[in-house]
Amino acid sequence: MISSDRRSLGEFELIRRCFVRDRPPWHVGTRLGIGDDCALFALEPGEVLAVTADTLVAGVHFFSDVDPADLGYKSLAVNLSDLAACGAEPRAVTLCLTVPEAGPDWLDRFAAGLFELADRHHVDLIGGDTTRGPLSVTIQAFGAVPGGNALRRSGARCGDRIFVTGTVGSAGLGLRMLDGRCTSADGEALLRLLRPEPRVDFGLLLRRYASSCVDVSDGLAADLGHVLTASAVGAAIDWDELPLSPAVVDYISTTGDWSMPLHAGDDYELCFTVPEARLAAFTGEARAHSTPFRAIGRIEEPRGLRLRRDGRTIDLQPDGFDHFA
């Protein structure tokens, strides 16, 4: 995409054209945005700042011929998903962008995808850096947690019910369609991979009910495994309760690769635990929410993660994506 775009922008022209908005910031706390040496950003009294960052590298996290609008969208989505997992309300982001060349068409599309999601969640882009080099995108996101009662990975207790939002394995199927490992075509799976829906509002609701929460970025087994380690507990999940799309069910019956939805990453759903005493109130309120969710198992005393499938209990290794494994 980049190499077919002949015109090139200067660094400051690029920033002004693509990243400085012609609308006021979403938040009064955004005191100073793009254009100075630092951005200035204020929280309300009593709020705690939640901070997260994620880098997407061409050839590692996405194919370099990706639609730049999808890349802009997803770079922000993965960060908003981390804020959602902590029950933080998104406020502002910085963008560190490295591009091989400054093609205006590519950059315009990238910015359009980014701001499409930013505006949906009222997120201000307050600064960043722009450099030339192999394509990579780093976004750092800042969210607010009123009263400081953020969700953490460490609060799961024995007897808590385990839930997951949306479906698992859909993005994994989308990736297998793109890289040719799977020949079926499912638009929904591709959409889940390219345009994941960060569960921001649901994360805010969970702050009142969940004992722990994590976002599923590296695979359900790996990310639930992080919760179990941080909480010093174990868990059992039921195969029959896993939320699988019809296309993923088809994929499993064709290939026999039943563990894909447990180990494939990129779903950006929330996996969380709710204590028995809060279950009724939680389901009562959450059912009115547009985000689907499903109980998939229970926190138990014995360490490790177990899967109940066809009357058997299988020990699951917390394998997920690991850059250095």
Residues within the interface to ligand ADP (CB under 6 A): 15, 19, 34-37, 95, 97, 125, 127-130
- Tokens encoding 7: 């015109």
Question: Do β-strands 212-216 and 89-99 pair in parallel, antiparallel, or remain unpaired?
Answer: unpaired
Are the beta carbons of 320 and 227 closer than 8 angstroms? Answer: no
Nearest to 158 by CA among 98, 91, 236: 236
- DSSP state letter for 41: E
130 binds, options Mg ion, ligand ADP, none, Cβ within 5 to 8 A by partner type: ligand ADP
User: 3-state DSSP call for residue 53?
Assistant: strand
* Shortest distance, position 136 Cβ to ligand ADP, whole Å: 12
Torsion of CA 271, 154, 194, 123, to 10 degrees: 110
**Cβ closest to ligand ADP, residue 68 vs residue 128:** 128
Largest separation between any pair of C-alpha atoms in the chain:
63
* Shortest distance, position 52 Cβ to ligand ADP, whole Å: 17
How does 192-201 read in b/e, with b if 16+ C-beta sit within 10 Å? bbbbbbbbbe
Task: Count residues near Mg ion (CB under 5 A).
Answer: 1
261 binds, options Mg ion, ligand ADP, none, Cβ within 5 to 8 A by partner type: none
Rg over alpha carbons for the chain, rounded to the nearest Å, is: 20
* Shortest distance, position 127 Cβ to Mg ion, whole Å: 9
* Shortest distance, position 266 Cβ to Mg ion, whole Å: 30
**Cβ closest to ligand ADP, residue 97 vs residue 220:** 97
Can residue 129 be called a binding residue for Mg ion (CB under 5 A)?
A: yes
The number of C-alpha atoms within 13 Å of 152 and in the hemisphere containing its C-beta is 9
276 binds, options ligand ADP, Mg ion, none, Cβ within 5 to 8 A by partner type: none
Stretch binding Mg ion (CB under 5 A), from 36-44, 102-110, 122-130, 244-252: 122-130
The strand pairing partners of 21, in sequence order, are none
**Cβ closest to Mg ion, residue 46 vs residue 134:** 134
* Shortest distance, position 19 Cβ to ligand ADP, whole Å: 4
The Cα–Cα gap between 250 and 128 comes to: 43
**Kind plus residue range of the DSSP H or E element containing 228:** helix 220-231
125 binds, options Mg ion, ligand ADP, none, Cβ within 5 to 8 A by partner type: ligand ADP
37 binds, options Mg ion, ligand ADP, none, Cβ within 5 to 8 A by partner type: ligand ADP
* Shortest distance, position 142 Cβ to Mg ion, whole Å: 19
**Cβ closest to Mg ion, residue 68 vs residue 128:** 128
User: What residues line the site for Mg ion (CB under 5 A)?
Assistant: 129
